[in-house]
Amino acid sequence: MANKLKIIELEYENEIWEFPLHVIAKHRADYYKDKDGSDWKEEFDFVMNDDYEGIDWVTNNMNLEDFEGYIKKIKTDKEVDWINPINSRIKDAVVSGGDDDK
């Protein structure tokens, strides 16, 4: 069975990276639940339904290590500045099988 998956794509001068939005949403929901007791599901859903928030959270609050096993580098020529992408967008992807709720 195919699952719909939202992907954030960040484009830098010489690199393009793809990040699953659900990993970003989980990271943010965990942070706010621990920080101030926010409702985890509300925080998760907020990111999944707000294109800007996912992009903002990944570029300002996460590191590559937070995506171990999930990140995909599309293109690379040299080292880049992680927090200053030239372009960013959220796109839909379809995956077959697997568990996208890790």
* Tokens at 76, concatenated: 């690379």
Q: What percent of the chain has pLDDT over 90?
A: 33
* Tokens at 12, concatenated: 């830098």
Cα 64 from Cα 34, distance rounded (Å) = 21
- Measured on CA atoms in the order 101, 63, 42, 34, is the torsion positive or negative? positive
Greater pLDDT, 74 or 28: 28
**How would you classify the pairing of strands 87-96 and 72-76?**
unpaired
Host H or E run for residue 28: helix 21-36
pTM for the model? 0.69
Mind listing the pLDDT tens digit for each residue in 48-95? 998 789 989 988 998 878 877 776 766 655 555 555 555 555 565 554
Greater pLDDT, 9 or 76: 9
